[in-house]
Amino acid sequence: MKFTEDQLERLNDSLKRFITSNRYLRAGTVDYSTTINQTESNILIFWLDKFATHYQEKFILPDFESYCDRLFGKLKPRLSEFLADENIPSYSFNCTFYLGEKRYHNFEIVLASL
């Protein structure tokens, strides 16, 4: 299943709010509007190079894959809420995290919140 254009817009708005509502992410982000995006091809892209260098060095680079997993874990409740609002019982997110030359791919199934 692919999201409609309206759903993509609502989801991407929710992803931006996720960044801005977390004081640590907001403070460490250079450009929060494009840090996380759901694409038309249903890939959830995390542009970790949108975080300031000091944030990357302190939080991301010491354990890149673990940071990616933890970030998705924090985002998961918001995705679950979005799915519930859209009456989608579950969704498989194909996640790709980018930071310079580093890449991490993860496949996550999220259930709608009750």
The pLDDT tens digits along the chain (114 residues) read 788 889 988 998 998 888 888 888 887 877 767 777 877 767 899 999 999 999 999 999 999 999 999 999 999 999 999 999 999 999 999 999 999 999 999 999 999 987
Task: Return left, alpha or beta for 92; rule: phi > 0 is left, psi -120 to 50 is alpha, else beta.
Answer: beta
What's residue 1's pLDDT? 79
Domain extent, residue 56, equals 5-111
pTM (2 decimals)? Answer: 0.88
What angle in degrees, to the nearest 10, is found between the helix axes of 5-21 and 64-85? 130
Half-sphere exposure of residue 63: CA atoms within 13 angstroms, side-chain side: 5
What's residue 56's pLDDT? 94
Instruction: Count how many domains the chain has.
Output: 1
What's residue 91's pLDDT? 93
Q: What whole-number distance in Å separates Cα of residue 48 and Cα of residue 19? A: 12
